[in-house]
């Protein structure tokens, strides 16, 4: 009801501000903030279109829109603080439980950590120990999911939506959001972290790992720190898998910390988080900040995960595989064999970008006025990569895009509406073919 009432008030105010026609000097000035609020609240595409048309006709600059968007994020909260063990969240017709702890000192610089439980666990019985460890300084979010099947698409959606919900309710630093998990939760920390690395300041898989099939996607963590903890005597997850993960992350120069402990508990052998490992982990968490604008982005993608990573993304690939591990709940399945798309992109400055890739048909780039001069052409070169034995060999480089790009307020507002991320605000999106050169494009 509050949402409907708020929308009604915003709509009424907007109509009062923008329906006046003609040169009548007594008409109220265009209220940009109210119109932007209307765009963020509405679910009606026609209303969104009307707002965008008014912004364009009034020549509202993207810098003005960005400054207003940042003011819509909470600076303080009137919502409950402290430990809340049985919160509810509705998604896809089902109700899920989660536990939440919000420190009394919550502010726009407060970090948040999401901790996923293992099989047989729950958010309520997971959060207690983490409150003792981090409760004075961190917002702590512990969702519950059947069997701890965090690898499923439903569970992935639940985690991401809960992060968004919490960030729009409480003042949380978007560059200090972490994803952690124990056992099955560690699998989720790896998979969700690898598929959405730009959403997190770091991932913390504890007493768990992934199989070699999913290690192809570790390259996505090139700009996202990882803190791995596993026992050498873990009887459930072979330590060799985590050692392999550590080697891959080290080889690609990802910022990784690996802690292999020798402790053995009475109930689960080495399959747990020793308290002796906690102080160093907490120190690491406090130091990490997401870099929302890395100059180089590397990624591997399959058909079920084609979302952008930072400022670049795969939109179409060549016979891409669809990898999905079903969970305990009914969910749409998209599983088939195929190829993995690889993309390496570098921002070289002065509106020049270099992209290399394999099994790509088309990719997209997200441009921001913070890093792009929209008065000058944008130049994108592409270089295909082919396999020769165990080596990746670059092919002939060509100019794939070379022209000016116009700012699009729909991209700016639509992106913020979806992610509510003040540090990932883009003014335009371009799609670039990886299949052929643009004949007229010649580098100056």
* Per-residue pLDDT tens digits for 383-436: 999 877 777 788 999 999 999 999 999 999 999 999 999 999 999 999 999 986
Query: In the prediction, which pLDDT does 12 show?
Result: 41
Q: Are residues 309 and 407 in the same domain?
A: yes
Last residue within a domain, chosen from 239, 260, 287: 287
Residue 183 included in any domain: yes
Predicted TM-score (pTM) of the model is 0.91
Q: Are residues 227 and 92 in the same domain?
A: yes
Query: In the prediction, which pLDDT does 388 show?
Result: 78
Q: Are residues 320 and 347 in the same domain?
A: yes
Residue 69 included in any domain: no
Across the range 172-181, mean pLDDT stands at 98
Query: In the prediction, which pLDDT does 5 show?
Result: 40
Query: In the prediction, which pLDDT does 9 show?
Result: 39
Last residue within a domain, chosen from 26, 60, 94: 60
Residues of the chain with pLDDT > 90: what percent? 87
Residue 320 included in any domain: yes
Q: Are residues 261 and 320 in the same domain?
A: no
Query: In the prediction, which pLDDT does 99 show?
Result: 98
Q: Are residues 183 and 51 in the same domain?
A: no
Per-residue pLDDT tens digits for 358-388: 999 999 999 999 999 999 999 999 999 987 7
Across the range 41-60, mean pLDDT stands at 97
Query: In the prediction, which pLDDT does 28 show?
Result: 75
Selected residue with higher pLDDT from 207 and 135: 207
Query: In the prediction, which pLDDT does 269 show?
Result: 85
Residue 73 included in any domain: no
Q: Are residues 362 and 218 in the same domain?
A: no
Question: Given a cut of 80, is residue 18 above it in pLDDT?
Answer: no
Q: Are residues 108 and 48 in the same domain?
A: no
pLDDT band at 267 (very low <50, low <70, confident <90, very high): low
Query: In the prediction, which pLDDT does 7 show?
Result: 39
Query: In the prediction, which pLDDT does 341 show?
Result: 97
Per-residue pLDDT tens digits for 306-346: 999 999 999 999 999 999 999 999 999 999 999 999 999 99
Residue-range definition of the domain harbouring residue 48: 2-60
Across the range 240-244, mean pLDDT stands at 98
Q: Are residues 31 and 179 in the same domain?
A: no
Q: Are residues 192 and 338 in the same domain?
A: no
pLDDT band at 27 (very low <50, low <70, confident <90, very high): low
Q: Are residues 308 and 173 in the same domain?
A: no
Residue 26 included in any domain: yes
The CATH code of the domain that includes 157 is 3.40.50.1820
Q: Are residues 154 and 272 in the same domain?
A: yes
Question: Given a cut of 70, is residue 52 above it in pLDDT?
Answer: yes
Across the range 87-112, mean pLDDT stands at 97
What mean pLDDT value characterizes the chain?
Answer: 92
Residue 222 included in any domain: yes
pLDDT band at 26 (very low <50, low <70, confident <90, very high): low
Q: Are residues 240 and 343 in the same domain?
A: no
Residue 443 included in any domain: no
Q: How many domains does the chain have?
A: 3
| SS3 annotation, the chain | CHHHHHHHHHHHHHHHHHCCCCCCCCCCCCCHHHHHHHHHHCCCHHHHHHHHHHHHHCCCCHHHHHHHHHHCCCCCCCCCCEEEEEEEEEECCEEEEEEEEECCCCCCCCCEEEEECCCCCCHHHHHHHHHHHHCCCCEEEEECCHHHCCCCHHHHHHHHHHHHHHHHHCCCCHHHEEEEEECHHHHHHHHHHHHCHHHCCEEEEECCCCCHHHHHHHHHHHHCCEEEEEECCCCCCCHHHHHHHHHHHHHCCCCEEEEEECCCECCCECCCCCHHHHHHHHHHHHHCCCCCCCCEEEEEEECCECCCECCEEEEEECCECECCCCCCCCCCCCCECCECEEEEEEEEECCEEEEEEECEEEEEEEECCCCCCCCCCEEEEEEEEEEECCEEEECCCEEEEEECCCCCHHHHHHHHHHHCCCCCCCCEEEEEECCCCCCCCCCC
Residue 442 included in any domain: no
Last residue within a domain, chosen from 269, 287, 305: 287
Residues of the chain with pLDDT > 70: what percent? 92
């Amino acid at each position: 009801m509050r949402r409907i009432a708020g929308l009604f008030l915003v709509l009424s105010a907007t109509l009062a501000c923008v329906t006046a026609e003609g040169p009548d000097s007594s008409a109220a000035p265009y209220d940009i903030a109210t119109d932007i609020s209307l765009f963020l609240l509405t679910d009606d595409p026609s209303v969104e279109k009307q707002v965008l048309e008014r912004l364009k006709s009034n020549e509202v600059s993207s810098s003005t829109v960005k400054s207003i968007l940042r003011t819509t994020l909470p600076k303080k909260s009137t919502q409950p603080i402290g430990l809340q063990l049985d919160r509810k969240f509705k998604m896809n017709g089902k109700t899920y439980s989660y536990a939440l702890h919000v420190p009394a000192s919550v502010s726009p610089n407060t970090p948040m950590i999401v901790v996923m439980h293992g099989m047989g666990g729950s958010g309520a019985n997971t959060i207690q120990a983490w409150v003792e460890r981090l409760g004075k300084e961190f917002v702590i979010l512990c969702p519950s999911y059947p069997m701890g099947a965090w690898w499923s698409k439903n569970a992935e959606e639940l985690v991401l939506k809960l992060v968004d919900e919490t960030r729009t309710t409480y003042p949380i630093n978007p560059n200090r959001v972490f994803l952690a998990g124990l056992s099955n939760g560690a699998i989720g920390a790896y998979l969700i972290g690898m598929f959405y690395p730009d959403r997190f300041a770091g991932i913390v898989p504890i007493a768990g790992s992934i199989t070699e099939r999913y290690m192809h996607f570790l390259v996505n963590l090139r700009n996202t720190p990882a803190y791995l903890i596993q026992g050498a005597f873990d009887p459930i997850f072979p330590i060799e898998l985590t050692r392999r993960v550590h080697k891959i992350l080290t080889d690609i120069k990802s910022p990784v910390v690996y802690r292999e402990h020798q402790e053995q508990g009475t109930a689960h052998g080495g399959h747990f988080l020793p308290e002796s490992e906690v102080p160093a982990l907490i120190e690491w968490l406090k130091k990490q900040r997401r870099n929302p604008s890395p100059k180089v982005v590397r990624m591997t993608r399959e058909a079920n995960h084609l979302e952008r990573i930072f400022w670049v993304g795969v939109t179409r690939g060549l016979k891409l595989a669809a990898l999905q591990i079903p969970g305990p709940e009914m969910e749409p399945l998209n599983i088939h064999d195929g190829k993995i798309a690889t993309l390496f992109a570098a921002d070289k400055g002065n509106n020049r970008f270099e992209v290399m890739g394999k099994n790509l048909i088309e990719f997209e780039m997200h441009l921001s006025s913070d890093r792009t001069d929209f008065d000058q052409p944008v130049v994108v070169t592409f270089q295909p990569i082919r396999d020769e034995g165990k080596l990746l060999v670059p092919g002939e480089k060509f100019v794939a895009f070379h022209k000016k790009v116009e700012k699009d307020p729909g991209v700016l507002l639509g992106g913020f509406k979806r992610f509510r991320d003040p540090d990932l605000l883009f003014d335009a999106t371009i799609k670039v073919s990886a299949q052929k050169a643009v004949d007229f494009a010649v580098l100056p």
